[in-house]
Chain A
Amino acid sequence: SQQGEEDPQALSIQEGENATMNCSYKTSINNLQWYRQNSGRGLVHLILIRSNEREKHSGRLRVTLDTSKKSSSLLITASRAADTASYFCATDRVGANNLFFGTGTRLTVIP
């Protein structure tokens, strides 16, 4: 079964606006990762946040992690049309040795 659930399922914003996506999970994790998938392509790793970290930045990306609430958020600032894609969170669950992906958020950035 899939570990994470992202919300919203779909998000449409204007270019230049910020986009926030959320991920909830159910079990203890070692780390949580965010991936992007452009239409018809493979997934690309964006950022990894460890269970003992609360916030991480990478360029226009900001990820937060709240292990007490078992949730994470991905913020994309100053969005661009090229950010249009599906975004997935993936959890590295304690005791497992692979990733469990959520259902994804489909982001559309309108030029």
Chain B
Amino acid sequence: EAGVAQSPRYKIIEKRQSVAFWCNPISGHATLYWYQQILGQGPKLLIQFQNNGVVDDSQLPKDRFSAERLKGVDSTLKIQPAKLEDSAVYLCASTDRMGSKSSYEQYFGPGTRLTVT
């Protein structure tokens, strides 16, 4: 089966500019996650969707970050305006588990490396 697709793979922008990332999860996966991974650290969850509803966005800096999954499939993550500290890899992941009290294995895309100058 095809894996999680993300685009673009790399993006360089200046601070205060806007940027958007796109993710296409594995077909049939109801749950989608966006993570931020700063160099040298582990991924940190930004937002979790189940179908087109938000399950957890407690770690999303809502003053500048937004995300949507309108039809319960593809998702976009936007940063507006970007700051220097937003430089990181943005990872999308999906899983076919839903309605469960436990998390199971997540399938990750290759990520988008964002550099803010």
Contact = CB atoms under 8 A, between A and B. Distances in A.
Nearest to A1: B44
A4 B113 CA distance: 24
Contact of B102 (A31, A40, A88, A104): A31
Interface in B24-54: 33, 35, 40-45, 48
Interface residues of B, number: 26
B48 A43 contact: no
Interface string B45-73: 10010000001100000000000000000
Interface residues of A, number: 25
A41 interface: yes
A102 B107 contact: no
A88 B42 CA distance: 7
Contacts of A101: 35, 42-44
24 contacts: A30-B103, A31-B102, A31-B103, A33-B105, A41-B111, A42-B4, A42-B91, A42-B93, A42-B108, A42-B111, A43-B93, A44-B108, A45-B105, A45-B107, A48-B104, A88-B43, A90-B42, A92-B102, A92-B103, A97-B48, A97-B101, A98-B55, A101-B43, A102-B42
Interface of A: 2, 4, 30-31, 33, 35, 40-45, 48, 88, 90, 92, 96-104
